[in-house]
Structure 1
Amino acid sequence: MSATSASTHIQHLPVSRIRRNPNNPRKGRNAERYEHFKQSVMAQGILQPILVRPIEGDPEHDFEIVAGETRWQAATDCAIDLIPALVRAMSDEEARIAAAVENIQRADMTPIEEANAAAELLRQTGNDHDEVMRLLGWSRTKLNARILLTHASEAVAQALVAGQIKLGHAELLCPLGHADQDMVVAKIVEQGMSIAEARERLLKLTRRLDQARFDTGGCTGCVHNSSAYADLFDTSVGNGQCQNVTCWSAKVAAHLEQCLVEAKAEHGVVYRSDELPADGYQTIVTDGAKGVGHEQAAACRSCASYGAVVSARNGEEGKVTGRYCFNPTCHGEMVAAYQAAVNAAAQAAPAPATPSHGAAPAAAAGAPAGQPAKGPSKPRTLRTPLRKVAHKAQVQLAHRFMVSHAAYGYAQAISSVVQDIGKDVAPGLTDKILKAAGVPERPAMAKARVAWIADLARLDEAKLLALLAKLSALALCRTVAQDDFDHSEAAMLAAEVIGRNSLDPLDVFVVDAEYLNLLTKDELLAECAAAGFDSAYEAAHGKGAFKKMVGASKVKELVQTLLAPLEGFSWQGHLPAFLKPAAPKGADAAPSSQSEAA
């Protein structure tokens, strides 16, 4: 059986030709409610269609459930042959997101199930909180509350599901460590504490000043500092207790805010730990079973999903930990790719042998010792400031070329005319004219369309419109909306022109203060290593000088040092990795002298 790729009407499909979704976020169902539902199905049939997607390579099934597995199971149990369904072509990721959204929006999910499903959605969307809120129709408050539940210990989660505690109890306990959660929840259940009673008891706990993460200079002499009563109680100054939890909480909150501000100046992306699901991010390492390789680890530093976490956990407030990837799906792919490269390199390695006289070691031609040879690594998605730099350089480079090569101008003009006039003329007329000229239809999708334009530019100029090179080149100067530097037509056309004609980004890009001030400290260090600045600095100032200078410098100070004159070093000729041209797809034919003159 076949189906259209995007059916919008209800079809009745054989139940036996539909298979379960192996990634269904719903792991169980209420037995009593399911029995009542089956009785309803026996009486009335399946009233609400399920959502399925076409599949290939399975001789026993034509479709896979995206949403509606309970309805499908009831139809199977009730021996119903056909089931109403909407058929929609979806990728694995789209199907997982749709299934998670559909299940969360059902009324009978427990808060813990909602928390786990929300965490899965965050994983699928690369921790895009705004997108998850949009998909679920949730407020920021509700999403944050469910994320907090993913930090619950097993004992707290079980007590909540069993009805021994309420949601408010769990939210009070989740900021604590798991050992403390287990101890406190046992007391709450044992003594039958209400939420208000549990909150009051937790608030009355004193705090040790010697363990405070904030500056306690103002706490000396405070009437709420138990050390003020050292003459009455056997309490040392070092172990003074703060007995004003309201003041303590305010100081912690202010400290966290300050830590976030400072961390954002040093790292590209920063989250508080309680804004992320448990295990919702991964440490980027170079080697071992979870390694991604040195080259990929360096490339990840400029990714929009790379950054640091500021801890909000009790006793660790404000602690900053970096080198995290907030896109677990991408991280898993990079780990798998690197491990595959390691295994392939190990299998292909020849038996040890004494090299012939004058022969270079095998490792010299490829990656560093112990590293498998692999293609160039790049971040999955560049940070927005760096994407802006890349977009600007691409557009400048492609614009310069298009202005001086009339054929590209003519091709862009044809595309614009077809788009603008095609809406106001008889259907198919523009396509008929193109066909008569031996030109295929103008594609609807942008990615295919820019290749079509580039192909047009290879035709004889006599077949193309004249004198429109400069006007057509204005297509590259459109304002990019919402920082969409990667998917705008102007950006993709610029990249196509640059790639096909091997244009050199060094013609328009220079390393200057405007560029360097966009970088995080990690990115600056990566640029120093790639350009050889660190080695030149060591040569000029002595061994260890670069590391010492970096440790003592904030980002702005480091930028000033990098731009100061340094003997034996120049940034001239250096290109960031994200601006280096990709492998050529097949260069365009050499331009004619007439085009060069234009």
Structure 2
Amino acid sequence: MEQNQHLSTHNTTLPVNMIDALPFGNTRRSRNEAKYSELKQSIRLRGVIQPILVRPAADRFEVVAGYGRLTISRELGLNDIPVLIKPLSDAEALEHQMEENLNREDLSLIDECKAVQQLSAFYNGDRQAIADRLAWTIKKVNERIEILKCCDEVLGCVIDGSITVGHALLLAPFSTKLQQGTLKKIIAEKWTVSYLRERAAKGQQYLSLAKFDTTNCNTCLHNSAAQSGLFGIEEQKAACSNLNCFKEKTGEWLESRKAELADQYGTVLLVQQIADSDRNTVDAVTVGEEQFSTGCLACQKRVVLIDDRLGRALGSTYPNQCVDAICFNKCVNALSTDSVDVEEAAIELATPIDVDNANSDGVKNTTKPAAKTDKPVSCIVPKKVIDTNKAIMRETSASLLMPQEHFQLAMSYAALKRLCTSYKALNETLGIPTHFEATIQAALRVSLEDLKTEILNVTQHLATKQCDQTVSMTDIMISNIGFVENARSVAIDKWNPTKAILSEYTIGSLSALCIKAGFDQAMENKKAGNFAKAANSGKGKFIDTILATPFDWTHFAPDEYLALIK
């Protein structure tokens, strides 16, 4: 049975053997066995009543939602299953899958936490966006992320009911070793949440593991070292017994560190926010020199992870982490068969990298040669850069389109037509569109004389029925700029690298911008190492260097900016 036989309708049935799993699997980790048995018995008696959601994939299909029903159908030897076919991108499929799983009443707490983890990668750690998407409170999202700091043993005990979520939240900030040791006592001695909170408040943290400035701690009453030598007490390793203070100062240090890293990476996330399966170390070896230097460096999905758990791992940083696993795999697969062995060359996440001592890309040098590729570069540009590009392009389109009588009349007609829902256009081309933007484009395609006649008629018809719609004039102006022949060259002239515009980029995306423009070569021609030195000088100094260096930007504009011209 061919796939295209089923694409004419959304609701149909498919052979079970034509349906595969998604490349990234099912977001659901556990299942209520009792309810699964009930569902299996129901399907045995009545068949599958509710269709599963699938998407087309080459000459087959992939299940997006309804893994349980599909699995049972296979177990029972059913040949066909009712499906809803919907063309979906990888990102859309992932969202649909999480939506269904999160709406299940029997979804476990840990599955909820894992879903939040996946959404963290999807939304680049924006907790408010996650809360809005799930219709949750920020508090609920924060709790799920906090629980993910717990080690596997603690999470397992939450699932089987040995301890409560309250226990887990109190254990979450501590090191894995301390969590494991305390967990045994909680279960053996039946500690309540209140008792654990009391014990946790009396806990100590070695000051040698602190990341913040401990100068003021030397004379603090809560510093155990201050008691050394008194009343015969032996010298001991300095430890802070005021855990709340230690956590507060650690939190302040983490915020400061995140701000430093944000200049280069744009997005700084906690290690626990992103699942191991949703992140990959990205460099020139794994995805190719061109993709990395002109795509990944500027991509908002390239982030740095920082560990905020109390203990030896505190503050460990993992730069160049791609949190778009789907895009990462596509970039890796796009390399030619002659590229280097990715498995040998990739830098493992298990080993933290000292960002301060890394090279300009935040990755330690390797002896492997960088792979080359002429494949299209993949990059997700930060929203604020897109908004700035749109603002410049709108101004450009206004300067080009407004002097033209045809465009002025097209705008006038669209504005009038917008008020007249029952007006029937005389011209066939103008009778098709229903939206404001489409009406403008249609009006630009008809002759001036026909357009003037239409304006006269719609004006006379204005008194019939009125309505209102919300439109984006920025998008409308940009979408119509293509009607001007020299739009591209004028748009390029309009874009200039001002301090305000460059400040919206991260250090990585600034480097990518300079490489695309040829600015890096101009600096290197003057003196080898000039560009790398500038890129490593910090964002502010890097921008100052770019603006102070003589370079002809006249014929250059960013790809993402020019892509707005359709």
TM-score (normalizing by structure 1): 0.70
Residue of structure 2 equivalent to 1:302: 298
User: Quick one: distance in 1 between partners of 2:553 and 2:76?
Assistant: 74
Instruction: Tell me which residue corresponds to 1:589.
Output: none
Q: CA deviation at 1:374?
A: 1.4
Match of 1:365 in 2: none
Conserved in 2, the CA contact under 8 Å of 1:208 and 1:240? yes
Map 1:384-423; keep pairs closer than 5 Å.
384-410=383-409, 418-421=417-420, 423=421
State the match for 1:213 in structure 2.
211
Name the SS for the 1:503 alignment partner: helix
Q: 2:507 aligns with which of 489, 512, 521?
A: 521
The aligned counterpart of 1:32 is 34
**What is the alpha-carbon distance in structure 2 between the residues aligned to residue 322 and residue 156 of structure 1?**
28
Q: Does 1:559 align with 2:557?
A: no
Q: 1:81 to 1:378 in 2, by over 3 A?
A: closer
How much does 1:218 deviate?
0.7
Distance in 1, Cα, partners of 2:58 & 2:263: 50
Maintained 8 Å contact 2:131/2:137: yes
Following superposition, the deviation at residue 202 of structure 1 comes to 4.0
Are the structure 2 counterparts of residues 163 and 294 from structure 1 closer, same or farther at C-alpha, using a change threshold of 3 Å? Answer: same
CA distance in 1, matches of 2:295, 2:58: 36
Deviations, residues 446-499 of structure 1 (Å, cap 9, x unaligned): 99x49x92x86466544444999xxxxxxxxx9997xx97xx3333333x4478
Rate the CA distance shift 1:465–1:144 in 2: closer, same or farther, 3 A. Answer: same
TM-superposed deviation, 1:228 = 1.8
CA distance in 1, matches of 2:77, 2:520: 72
Aligned length: 515
The Cα of 1:114 is off from its aligned counterpart by 2.2
Contact 1:270-1:310 at 8 Å conserved across structures:
yes
- Give the counterpart letter for 2:251 in structure 1: A
**One-letter amino acid of the structure 2 residue matched with residue 327 of structure 1:** D
Letter of the structure 2 residue corresponding to residue 97 of structure 1: E
CA RMSD between the two structures: 4.5
CA distance in 2, matches of 1:64, 1:549: 48
- Alignment check: 8 A CA contact 2:228 2:235 kept: yes
Distance 2:521 2:8 in 1: 60
Letter of the aligned partner of 1:222 in structure 2? C
> Which among 492, 504, 525 is matched to residue 479 of structure 2?
492
Counterpart residue number, 1:331: 328
Pick closer, same or farther for the CA change 1:79–1:340 going to 2, 3 Å: closer
Question: Deviation at 1:549?
Answer: 5.6
2:161 is matched with which residue?
163
Match of 1:503 among 479, 483, 489: 489
Q: 2: CA distance between counterparts of 1:489 and 1:583?
A: 11
Tell me how far apart the structure 1 counterparts of residues 15 and 529 of structure 2 sit (CA, whole Å). Answer: 70
Deviations 1:534-555 (CA, angstroms, capped at 9, x unpaired): 5665676x6656655655x543
Question: Is 1:102 aligned to 2:95, yes or no?
Answer: no
Is 2:140 the counterpart of 1:136? no
Residue 434 of structure 1 aligns to a residue whose secondary structure is coil
**Partners of 1:144 and 1:275 within 8 A in 2:** no
Cα distance in 1 for partners of 2:294, 2:262 equals: 19
Q: How far is the alpha carbon of 1:387 from its aligned partner?
A: 1.1
Q: Give the gaps of 5 or more residues in structure 1.
A: 344-368, 469-477, 586-598
- How much has 1:213 moved relative to structure 2? 0.1
Instruction: Flag the 1:81–1:282 CA change in 2: closer, same or farther, 3 A.
Output: closer
CA shift digits 1:194-239 (9 cap, x unpaired): 3344444444332222221000111122222222233244326xx4
Superposition deviation, residue 242 in structure 1: 1.7
- Alignment-mate amino acid for residue 169 of structure 1: H
Distance 1:247 1:25, change over 3 A: closer
CA–CA separation in structure 1 for the residues paired with 2:76 and 2:376 = 56
Structure 2 length normalisation: TM-score?
0.73
Give the residue type in structure 2 aligned to 1:491: I
- 1:499–1:584 CA contact under 8 A, matched in 2: no
Distance 1:2 1:198 in 2: 58
Give the 3-state SS of the residue equivalent to 2:501 in structure 1. Answer: helix
Q: Is the 8 A contact 1:6 1:87 kept in 2?
A: yes
Deviation at 1:401, TM superposition (A): 2.5
Which of the residues 286, 298, 310 maps onto 1:314? 310
Q: Structure 1 residue 146 and structure 2 residue 144: aligned?
A: yes
Counterpart in the other structure of 2:364:
none
Query: Per the alignment, in what secondary structure is the counterpart of residue 260 of structure 1?
Result: helix
278, 281, 284: which one aligns with 1:283: 281
SS in 2 for 1:389: helix
Say if 1:217 and 1:466 are closer, same or farther in 2 by CA, change over 3 A: farther
CA contact (8 A) 2:124 2:301 kept: yes
Q: Larger radius of gyration, structure 1 or 2?
A: 1
Q: Offset of 1:371 from its aligned partner? A: 4.2
Kept after mapping to 1: 8 A contact 2:479/2:565? no
Q: Could you tell me whether the CA contact under 8 Å between 1:5 and 1:89 is conserved in 2?
A: no
- Render the CA deviation track for 1:506-557: whole Å, top value 9, x for unaligned: 32122222222333333334444455555665676x6656655655x54334
